[in-house]
A and B are shown apart, each in its own frame.
Chain A
Amino acid sequence: MSKKVLLNSKEVSIILHRLACQLIENHKSFDHTVLVGIQPRGKYLLDRLAQMLKTDYKIKDLKTGNLDITFFRDDFRRGEKILEANTTEIDFLVENKNVVFIDDVLYTGRSIRAALTAIQSFGRPRNIELLTLIDRRFSRHLPIQPDYKGRQVDAINQDRVIVKWKEHDGEDAVYLINS
């Protein structure tokens, strides 16, 4: 098993600033925009981006929430492991809002497919965009692509991409693990 550093903490920081600026470019003051983290790992990226938008870029009244997709997944009863749910924290309606899904790694696209269905329980958004820190291209099962991406990675299917956050894992870094 080999472990390769894809991004170190400085690179993660630069990419986060770029993603935050891209969001501001498209969504201006975020009046009609909500940021939705995809549970479980998208929450960490959302928290970091939201913090940055508020303190470094002075965005006021930023609306954020976290969406759990467990009950909307297409692999219930298909795998060995039982799906365990996380918490959904969305205390607003997304009716006519611009929604930005935030997740750490985009791989097959199936989580995002589930999220597209799950978000409909909270209304009909005007549009939905996708922001992802790592885009594992060439491994998609569905026609889903990110609107904002941190870094594109060509990883074969056996590889795993692990995103670590200082608050939870002790460091900001992205690893490619080859088994």
Chain B
Amino acid sequence: MSELSVDHLLGIKYLNKKDINLIFETADHFKEVINRPIKKVPSLRDITIANLFFENSTRTKLSFELAEKRLSADVINFSASQSSVKKGETLIDTVNNILSMKVDMVVMRHPKPGSCVFLSDHVDARIINAGDGAHEHPTQALLDTYSIRERLGEVKGKNVVIVGDILHSRVALSNIYALKLLGAKVKVCGPKSLIPKHIEKLGVKVETDLRSALNWCDVANMLRVQHERMAVSFFPTTREYSQQYGLNKDLLDSLDKEITVMHPGPINRGVEITSDVADSDQAIILDQVENGVAVRMAVIYLLAAKINRENAN
């Protein structure tokens, strides 16, 4: 009988291939559920989940909340901007206070890398990482690879290029882990200043020319330029970036083959991707969002299944 090898989802780094396939198969069932007239199942009605967002989020937070509610879990939400964190409370204190209200699972986004791993060592609840700094964003990588599997049949053997701000991107790192685990070939493409040193050690190739990267790939994942994480300028102007690394319709149409275009959102239209590409049939950006709910339902369901009822809070 299959179950996840982990008790928390802290990063793709801690998963194995079997885990990912189990999550995908479970997500298939939930995708069917969320397309029913009534999109809710009662599995988690005795589970309480806290969504702790120490950093801004729209899509991920909504997607998690919807996933939790479609599984009938009780949900409490917390945003750092309206909380005692501003009064100087530590992370462990904040979370332990929330857990004493009988919470079984914590979904957390935090600006500091490693905060979820730290938390899982110190508190008694299942932790799901919803993004920790520039480290990992595992559910995004799962929904990205799930969307590739849905579009192209399988991930194994596919050529995937991740374009843009690799340096500040947790999406890039989690995607690289997930894609390698599933047997895809991965390249990263962007200005040298936005590609971390030694990234080849993860088994990916670096390409600085967008056109040749696109001609090589089956799927292009266009990352957002994260202006908010840049203390200094990593490229001269936004205009120059979009001329060299932005994907527009002319470039897309001039390629040898039809590639699939992905974007984790939110899109800077006209910077990394133009509107006509984002809205074209080759883009699966909105499929990614739909799949996000199904994949998150699968992750929450599979982790909740491992909470022993007797030991549950």
Contacts and interface: CB of A to CB of B under 8 A. Distances in A.
Leading 4 A-B pairs by shortest Cβ distance = A71-B41, A121-B38, A85-B29, A71-B43
Interface of B: 1-3, 26, 29, 32-33, 36-44, 46, 71, 301-302, 304-309, 312
A133 to B, nearest CB: 26
B37 A123 contact: yes
Interface of A: 68, 70-73, 76-78, 81-88, 93, 117-118, 120-123
A83 B308 CA distance: 14
Contacts of A81: 1
Contact of B308 (A71, A77, A93, A120): A77
Given A77-B307, A82-B306, A93-B37, 6 more contacts: A72-B41, A76-B44, A77-B312, A82-B305, A88-B33, A121-B33
| Interface of chain B: mostly helix, strand, loop or mixed | loop
Contacts of A86: 29
A72 B45 CA distance: 10
For A76, A120, A121, A122, the residue with the greatest tally of chain B CB atoms inside 10 Å of its CB is A76
A163 to B, nearest CB: 22
A76 B307 CA distance: 10
Contacts of A121: 33, 36-41
Contacts of B302: 82
Contacts of B71: 71
A73 B305 CA distance: 13
B302 to A, nearest CB: 8
A85 B38 contact: no
A122 B44 CA distance: 20
A26 B186 CA distance: 61
Contacts of A118: 41
B42 A72 contact: yes
12 contacts: A71-B41, A71-B42, A71-B43, A71-B71, A71-B301, A72-B41, A73-B43, A77-B307, A77-B309, A77-B312, A88-B32, A121-B39
